[in-house]
Chain A
Amino acid sequence: MNDTYEFHAGETHIEVHKFYPGAVVGVAVLALVLQRILPVYLPKLEILDIPLIVTIYFGLSRRNPSTGLLLGMLMGLLQDSLSGPTVPLGEYGIAKTVIGYLASSIGSRLDTEHPLARFALVVCFFVVHQSILVLVRRFLLAEPEPWLNLHLLIAALINAVLGVALFVGLDRLRRNS
């Protein structure tokens, strides 16, 4: 997972980043732990979805759809497992699998290093992620889940701000090729 390679899309040269050994696994585990611990002490931080931000970041950086979707699936299933017995396995898994795939696919076509681009991408991915969750809950689980609303938009913006900041920190885990 830490190999480096270069990807040529047409005439655009997009660099594929590599990370220090264990960085991806460590960051993923840390994200899941934080996601569980933070709301305990700061309930308002419940609106953050740190595993999602991590999934987006590694998807955009690795730029390999298969790797991205598998990482998303693992993150989602672990998040499901840690969410208690009321959340069936696969709910976050499906959503994050799709996000991982989309992030890797977009990352292989666009330069996603600019903070504004990252902000916009996190907002979009957050909305898509929540939309998938709503679809799964309404149609697969038959739960009365509300459609997208202002609260979701605010959550998307806050997660995007956090994402832009977090991405800068995660960039430091990249190995220079």
Chain B
Amino acid sequence: MVAIPSRHKSLALLAGVLLLQVLMLAVQVKRDSRGRLIRVWTITAVSPFEKGGAWGFGKVRGVWDHYFALRGTTKQNEALRVENDALKLTISQLESKAAEADRLAALLHFRESHEKVPMVMARVIGASAGTISRTVEIDRGERDGIRRNMAVITPDGAVGKIIEVYRDNAQVLLLTDKDGGAGAMLVSSRIQGPVRGTGEPMLSMSYVAAEEKVNAGEKIVTSGMDKIFPRDIPLGTVMDVKQANPFKVIRVNPAARLDRLEEVIVLLTQQTVDFPSYSEQPGGAGSAPAAQSSTPATPPAAEKP
């Protein structure tokens, strides 16, 4: 009698024999582009462990790099912070210089396009110390031919007038000052009336009769009647109109950016200065030719508009 193998033994034998043959198949069979099947199986079986290992090593390395290998990082951080601050400052300076270059280019262009008009370019070097008055100080004075009540403008429009002149400096009273202002007229309707400062960023146009038709958005230019500003220099745009008797209440947004003046032009004459962007307004005041100067090129003598 032969001892009968147990069921488990025969199952194990079956599994072993089958595995052996499967391996034998794998060694023989060659997949088209991936090599022998045994290689494919081996790589397939091993790659999850490789991926796991790589992931584990990556994590360990990350923990090491981010938590343990931080010697000198504080110093490096500090140095980078200092460098960052310096770079920020440099960028700010460069941006400022670029903006200044743009402004100066605009002034130069303005100056070149009005060669026959005597004018002096000046840099704003100071502003009023208090909030009551709105004045600025420029770096040009008597030696440069500047006198009181000369008009001060930018390529955008009227700024104010000279109120004090020193040897090398002068003070400019801005249009927005309560004592500031200019003779003005609406471009489309030619209605005249003075524009005054209110102490606020906005200007106010006075003495426009209630029955006159004025719309928001209309352009306003100097009328030349104040003997300070030549006519047709942009003053601003009508912001809103309130009906009142006997005169309308008109708020005006200044054409020149009076809150951020850095360079200005002092007109040494009351000769008309042409502002194409305003004179091309449909039905606008630009119809007045530039040659029609209200007065000859002589400094005005009037104290106030």
Where the two chains meet, the residues of A that have a C-beta atom closer than 8 Å to any C-beta of B are 3, 5, 7, 64-66, 69-70, 73, 77, 88-91, 93-94, 97-98, 101, 105, 136, 140-142
Cα distance A105–B13 in the bound complex, in angstroms? 13
Which of A7, A77, A97, A142 makes the CB contact (< 8 A) with B18? A97
Task: List the 8 closest pairs (A to B, CB-CB), nearest first.
Answer: A65-B10, A90-B21, A90-B25, A88-B28, A90-B24, A66-B10, A93-B21, A66-B5
Cα distance A34–B5 in the bound complex, in angstroms? 33
Contact with A along B1-32 (1 / 0, CB 8 A): 11011010111011001100110111011010
Determine whether the beta carbon of B2 is less than 8 Å from that of A5: yes
Cα distance A91–B1 in the bound complex, in angstroms? 35
Determine whether the beta carbon of A97 is less than 8 Å from that of B26: no
Cα distance A69–B31 in the bound complex, in angstroms? 29
Residues of B within 8 A of A101 (CB): 10, 14
Where the two chains meet, the residues of B that have a C-beta atom closer than 8 Å to any C-beta of A are 1-2, 4-5, 7, 9-11, 13-14, 17-18, 21-22, 24-26, 28-29, 31, 37
Residues of A within 8 A of B9 (CB): 66
Cα distance A98–B13 in the bound complex, in angstroms? 11
Interface of A is mostly: helix
20 additional contacts, CB 8 Å, given A65-B10, A88-B25, A105-B10?
Answer: A3-B1, A64-B4, A64-B5, A65-B7, A65-B14, A69-B14, A69-B17, A70-B13, A88-B28, A90-B24, A90-B25, A94-B18, A94-B22, A94-B25, A97-B14, A98-B14, A101-B10, A140-B29, A140-B37, A141-B37
Interface of B is mostly: helix
Residues of B within 8 A of A97 (CB): 14, 17-18, 21
Residues of A within 8 A of B4 (CB): 5, 7, 64
Cα distance A7–B24 in the bound complex, in angstroms? 35
Cα distance A90–B22 in the bound complex, in angstroms? 7
Residues of B within 8 A of A93 (CB): 21, 24
Which of A5, A64, A89, A105 makes the CB contact (< 8 A) with B24? A89
Cα distance A90–B28 in the bound complex, in angstroms? 10
Q: How far is the CB of A171 from the nearest CB of chain B, in Å? A: 22
A1: nearest chain-B partner, CB-CB = B2
Q: How far is the CB of B23 from the nearest CB of chain A, in Å? A: 8
Q: How far is the CB of B245 from the nearest CB of chain A, in Å? A: 99
Cα distance A98–B21 in the bound complex, in angstroms? 12
Q: How far is the CB of B35 from the nearest CB of chain A, in Å? A: 13
Q: How far is the CB of B28 from the nearest CB of chain A, in Å? A: 4
Determine whether the beta carbon of A142 is less than 8 Å from that of B22: no
Residues of B within 8 A of A5 (CB): 1-2, 4
- 16 A-B pairs (CB sep. < 8 Å): A5-B2, A5-B4, A64-B10, A65-B11, A65-B14, A66-B5, A69-B17, A73-B17, A88-B29, A89-B24, A89-B25, A89-B28, A97-B17, A136-B25, A140-B22, A141-B37
